[in-house]
Amino acid sequence: MSNDKQGYQGRLERLDANRWRIPRQGGMKTDGVIYTSEKLLSTLIKDNAPQQVANVAHLPGIVGYSMAMPDIHWGYGFPIGGVAAFDVNEGVISPGGVGYDINCGVRLLRTNLETDEVKPKLRELLQAIYSAVPAGVGKKGRIRISREELKKVLLQGARWAVNKGYGWNEDLAHTEEEGSLDGANPSAVSDRAYERGLPQIGTLGAGNHFLEIQRVDEIYDAKAAEVMGLRKGQVVVMIHTGSRGFGYQVCDDAVKKLGHTVAKYHLSIPDRQLACAPISSPEGKAYFGAMAGAANYAWANRQAIMHWVREAFEQAFGMGAEKLGLQLVYDVAHNIAKFEEHEVDGRKRKLCVHRKGATRAFGPGHPDIPSDYRDIGQPVIIPGDMGTASYVLVGTEKAMQESFGSTCHGAGRVWSRSRALREVRGYEVKSRLEREGILVLSVSTKTLAEETPEAYKDVNEVVEVTHNAGISAKVARMRPLGVIKG
């Protein structure tokens, strides 16, 4: 199959208002299914991302469909927004199915504060956070550790950060996998990855990563919102970042190594970017071990950043974080491969589920959901970008049946970064947002131009598709008050 980006030429059959099918053909081992709407369809066809959905359907051991969420766009190997599950005995693991920013993810921190209480102190608060949380390309963090200590980070994740005083024990219960994915193997990580990772714990980075002070402006599910401690008019904080240069290097190393294993294991793939290895092979196990370490690095990273956000609030409001109600609602991963049990054709099977630009969305009653959320389903946090809305959703039983407990992860790009730089200027984006009442602090105006809201799909439409399809359900919507970008 061709992997060029001139526009998708294959068949797409409408299943219903929210789902389209790519029929199995050629070497495809299954159909492709894309969750999208008529409104979003033309963009993804131009992007040719459906071809990548079809390409993934060729991979050995795939179970169910090759899927994509409505925020789908072109990625490395897998589309961003792609979801695919593989049998642990017959299937493969692919770095292209996780991506370069391993465990890019989002956490939401609630407060007891109302919008009117924060607005007079917003600039001071934003500046305090900006000073406390290093942001920008290649920025070094405040945490200085040895290589041996970094190995502990890779094994323990967010728990390492909490043990070092960066947060509270109860934060772990509200973090996916309690902030530590089993199976991490520090010995599978390259020297170059260690070099890149050592100085970057507790840094926001650049690109689409951000830290936002937001107000809750709409509640859709009063019961679920109450369980999460969310209410209209309340101020919350969203942190969106991942594993920084460490995760990038882990992926880059694996792509190069697994490119040579395809021939070794006689694997037939339609695109070299889908380099992979059998899950049970030494190469597959080594990639998973390094990837799990990078995922844990990301959870430690977001944990440290949240700790400094709490300190900034304490500084601005002159009272403790507990009194201010600065509690973690939840933290979710967006780029990860995980071993999970799912029911397939009436029986439980252990699968390796790849979610690349997709969020776990387990339904009510699942044992992996924190006990206080088990009746409502797993919280799902969907970030917008700067001037756009963000959402809190919950996972559903239908997601368990249809999408291996997965849903969308954000808006999804429609412009490349180079096009955004041609179309807008960073200072214009900043001025426009501030006219709308959104304060912006950024290390680089170039990043503001690259991340202009026009560069993304309509997050409201994306969320509406997943809500109407039943694979997640809307709980609350937030709007930005202040934004920090790299």
Radius of gyration of the chain (CA): 21
Q: How far apart are CA 203 and CA 218, in angstroms?
A: 31
- Which residue among the candidates 73, 174, 409, 467 is catalytic per the annotation? 409
What is the band of 4 on the pLDDT scale with cuts at 50, 70, 90? very low
Could you read off the pLDDT of 35-51 as tens digits, one per residue? 999 999 988 888 899 99
Judged against a pLDDT cut of 90, whether residue 57 lies above it is answered with yes
Judged against a pLDDT cut of 80, whether residue 379 lies above it is answered with yes
- pTM for the whole structure: 0.96
Judged against a pLDDT cut of 80, whether residue 472 lies above it is answered with yes
Place of tokens 């050995």: 60
Q: Is 467 one of the annotated active-site residues of the chain?
A: no
Mean pLDDT of 1-18: 78
Domains of the chain: 13-414+456-485 (3.90.1860.10)
Mean pLDDT of 115-123: 97
* Summary mean pLDDT of the chain: 95
Q: How far apart are CA 191 and CA 208, in angstroms?
A: 27
Judged against a pLDDT cut of 50, whether residue 3 lies above it is answered with no
Bridge partners, residue 19, by sequence: 16, 35
Classify residue 273 by its DSSP letter: G
Q: 3-state DSSP call for residue 149? A: helix
Q: How far apart are CA 202 and CA 132, in angstroms?
A: 10
CB 288 within 8 A of CB 102: no
* Three-state SS sequence of 170-211: HHHHCEHHHHCCCCCCHHHCCHHHHHHHCCCCCCCCCCCCEE
Burial of residue 456 (number of CB atoms within 10 Å: 0-12, 13-18, 19+): buried
State what percent of residues in the chain have pLDDT above 70: 99
